[in-house]
Structure 1
Amino acid sequence: MDTRVSVISIIIKNDEAATAINELLHEYRQYVVGRMGIPYRDRGISIISVVLDAPGDVTSALSGKLGMQPGVSAKTLTAKL
């Protein structure tokens, strides 16, 4: 199956969404190359960048599920390799 390298950028405004986000990332862990989380306390948000090597439909599914969580924004950037 063809895979692509992508980055999903996640901004969390609602701390209560953190559990659901971590469960989703755990569910898709086989595709995760790495992740970095930054708590931005001055703004009351958290920012997570997740690098994936996955088929396009898997990346889209994860990004969509993340973005449906209350108080969460998720956007995906896919490399042209």
Structure 2
Amino acid sequence: MEQEKRIGVVGIVIEDLDKVSIINDILHQYSNIIIGRLGLPYKEKEISIISLVVDGTTDEIGGLNGKLGKIHGVNIKSALSKKVF
């Protein structure tokens, strides 16, 4: 049986801009669950912010969050729908 999917948002704040290429590689690995992406470089503050809309299983979304959360200089928060699809 296929695992139920959830829709959610993932907010990523990148304080160490040297990590951007690593983050983009991870996002590419999970591109199958990313349905929308907005990236904002905030040059005046020397940070970048990425907002993702995701549609995947809790395991897939958790895997993405876990990989991103291990990167020093990167802060991540997510919220998922209670409704399953």
Judge same fold: TM > 0.5, yes or no.
yes
Q: Deviations over 1:8-67 (max 9, x none)?
A: 100001111101100000001111101000111121110000111000011011111101
Letter paired with 2:59: D
Distance in structure 1 (CA, Å) of the matches to 2:19 and 2:44: 19
C-alpha RMSD of the superposition: 0.9
- Cα distance, 1:80 vs structure 2: 2.3
Q: Percent identity?
A: 38
Could you list the structure 1 runs, at least 4 aligned residues long, displaced by more than 2 angstroms after superposition: none
User: Any idea what SS the aligned residue of 2:12 has?
Assistant: strand
1:47 aligned partner: 49
1:18 aligned partner: 20
Unaligned ranges ≥5, structure 2:
none
Unaligned ranges ≥5, structure 1:
none
2:75 aligned partner: 73
Distance in structure 2 (CA, Å) of the matches to 1:2 and 1:79: 12
Distance in structure 1 (CA, Å) of the matches to 2:63 and 2:17: 22
1:58 aligned partner: 60
